């Protein structure tokens, strides 16, 4: 298959953490682990298994300290992002990788980790609709779009947008044919049963119900973002 950098072996990776929303990781993984001539590294702060927001057990294979320089780093989201935004080990890792990676790719509220690491300053970015208002605190230029590409930073909106984002990333790394082949293999010709995938298209009471469900996480999140950007030198 043709592609911009087809010949180089690519090192791709993602960070797992407690309270991850597993689909923010597993959906792009499905796409990215199929990239020809590449290795996917499943990373964790330690190698200890973690549980996602619903309890699914996921097992990192390489601790952050042993990860190679990656060509692509995926940062998923989830309620556990709250702790990650103040985890200096993870933030330092993300900054270090960003300096050498071709692409830093966040899905859902993973964008807030990029924000806390200072990577979104002056950049266009998106995140899950319920946390979108927090992007500007990190100096980002919030864009109401499903996938936003700004330099080497690619941000995708809530959960399922990781699929659209990952296919775009494959096209960036390996050319459109590589992305198309994965889209065909994964039979991605979506037929959502309802027309309510965004707060703009959903009924107001549905939006309020989801916001109410997320209230506790969102309130804690707002306080954390405030603390992060108040740190000296941020």
Residue located via tokens 């707002």: 222
Closest CA to 113 of 232, 224, 213, 231: 224
CB of 88 to its own copies, least distance (A): 27
* Active-site annotation holds for 196: no
CB of 91 to its own copies, least distance (A): 25
| Residue pair 74/81 in contact by the 8 Å Cβ criterion | no
Backbone phi and psi for residue 60, each to the nearest 5 degrees, phi listed first: -70, 150
CB of 64 to its own copies, least distance (A): 17
> CA 84 to CA 109: how far, in whole Å?
11
- Positions in the binding site for its own copies (CB under 8 A): 1, 21-23, 26-27, 29-30, 33-34, 40, 42, 49, 54-59, 61, 108, 128-129, 146-147, 157-161, 163-164, 167-168, 171, 176-177, 179-181, 183-194, 196-199, 201-203, 206-207, 209-210, 213-214
Question: Which residue is catalytic, options 50, 103, 104, 108?
Answer: 108
CB of 128 to its own copies, least distance (A): 6
Two tokens, residue 175: 């050319």
Residue among 59 and 69 whose Cβ is closer to its own copies? 59
Residue among 82 and 161 whose Cβ is closer to its own copies? 161
Residue among 21 and 71 whose Cβ is closer to its own copies? 21
Cβ neighbours of residue 50 closer than 8 Å, sequence gap 6 or more: 16, 17, 18, 19, 20, 44, 57, 58, 59, 60
Two tokens, residue 200: 């703009």
> CA 175 to CA 43: how far, in whole Å?
26
> CA 16 to CA 63: how far, in whole Å?
10
Residue among 55 and 122 whose Cβ is closer to its own copies? 55
CB of 24 to its own copies, least distance (A): 9
Q: Which residues of 121-156 are buried (b: 16+ CB within 10 A; e: fewer)?
A: eebbbbbbbbbbebbebbbbebbeebbbbeebbbbb
Residue among 92 and 220 whose Cβ is closer to its own copies? 220
| Catalytic residue set | 108
């Amino acid at each position: 298959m043709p592609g911009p950098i087809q010949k180089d072996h690519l090192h791709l990776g993602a960070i797992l953490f407690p309270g991850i929303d597993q689909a923010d990781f597993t959906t792009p993984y499905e796409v990215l682990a199929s990239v020809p001539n590449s290795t996917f590294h499943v990373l964790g702060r330690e190698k200890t298994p973690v549980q996602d927001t619903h309890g699914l057990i996921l097992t990192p294979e390489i601790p952050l300290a042993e990860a190679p320089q990656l060509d692509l780093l995926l940062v998923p989201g989830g309620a556990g992002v709250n702790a990650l935004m103040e985890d200096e080990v993870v933030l330092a890792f993300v900054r270090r990788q960003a300096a050498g990676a071709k692409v830093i790719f966040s899905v859902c509220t993973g964008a807030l980790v990029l924000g806390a690491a200072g990577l979104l300053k002056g950049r266009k970015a998106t995140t899950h609709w319920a946390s979108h208002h927090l992007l500007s605190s990190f100096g980002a230029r919030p864009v109401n779009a499903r996938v936003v590409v700004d330099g080497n930073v690619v941000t995708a909106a809530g959960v399922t947008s990781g699929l659209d984002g990952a296919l775009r990333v494959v096209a960036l790394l390996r050319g459109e044919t590589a992305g198309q082949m994965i889209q065909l293999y994964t039979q991605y010709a979506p037929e959502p049963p309802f027309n309510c995938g965004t707060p703009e298209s959903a009924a107001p009471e549905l939006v309020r119900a989801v916001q109410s469900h997320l209230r506790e996480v969102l309130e804690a999140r707002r306080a954390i973002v405030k603390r992060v950007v108040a740190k000296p030198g941020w």
